[in-house]
A and B are shown apart, each in its own frame.
Chain A
Amino acid sequence: MSTAKTLTFLLMDAPYESANSTTALRIIDAAIRKGYHVNVTAYEGAVAYTYGLQKPHQNPIKGTTVEQEKHPNTKDWVAALIKAAQGRGLKLDWLRCGMCEDERGLYENQIAGTRPGSPVDFYKQQVEPADNVLVIPCR
């Protein structure tokens, strides 16, 4: 593991419900581009970011097919970020709140490269060793 600094983010919003999810991914992307290791804890609705059964859809208003829409789901964005981090020799540790996924029925079919965990894991594995932490809450 390199001597790069580590930034930790806690996300709460489900994707597709607010602008927070896009901004969160932009910040994580910037951190990876700039050579940081990144920890993410996906809490509450954010466990849906990485749900493997997301699928794209066509757009009848625009008259576009699924292929023409070119619309990756958030699971694809996160998978791409995991790959980008790996390509740079960096860590993107994406932890999903286990109880949150249980109650939302999202405990299976989560994408590879992510793992279930708890608030204690967030604190001990992602906060204590990190150089800095940002909580992105929801309303």
Chain B
Amino acid sequence: MAKYLLIESRDPYEWNDVSYFYDLAHGLAREGHDVTLFLVQNGVLPARKSPRSGRLADLAQGGVKIAADDFSLRERGIAVEALAPGVRPSKIDAVVDLMGEGARALWH
């Protein structure tokens, strides 16, 4: 099984296509791969607890590790306490660490 790093830079409020990337993350996890969904830039917006963050909670329950770039969170005033279940804050270094471990990296 492989490691995957799926970097989501877009949010589902402006971009319909984000659901494709979430589905891909979920599908890879269901296939048994080790999947991290790294939210960055406006991609962190659904990480704030809201009616739209349920999808992220589903992904987390489905085995996807969800990390939100801490710089992007602070930039948008999203406190750690306000994060949706299953989402943890992370330094950008995690992208490098996962790539260094051989995770197949995709940016959306």
A residues in contact (CB < 8 Å) with B: 5, 7, 19-20, 23, 26-27, 30-31, 33-34, 36, 131-137
* Least CB separation from B71: chain A residue: A26
Q: Does the CB pair B103–A132 fall under 8 Å?
A: yes
Q: Does the CB pair A34–B41 fall under 8 Å?
A: no
A5 with B105, Cβ < 8 A, contacts A20-B9, A23-B9, A23-B40 known: no
Q: Does the CB pair B107–A34 fall under 8 Å?
A: no
Q: Which of B41-96 contact A (CB under 8 A)?
A: 41-42, 69, 71, 91-93, 95-96
Number of B residues with CB within 8 Å of any CB on chain A:
19
Contacts of B100 in A (CB 8 A): 5, 7, 34, 36, 131-132
Which of B71, B91, B93, B99 lies in contact with A7, CB distance below 8 A?
A: B99
Q: Does the CB pair B42–A19 fall under 8 Å?
A: yes
Q: Does the CB pair A34–B96 fall under 8 Å?
A: yes
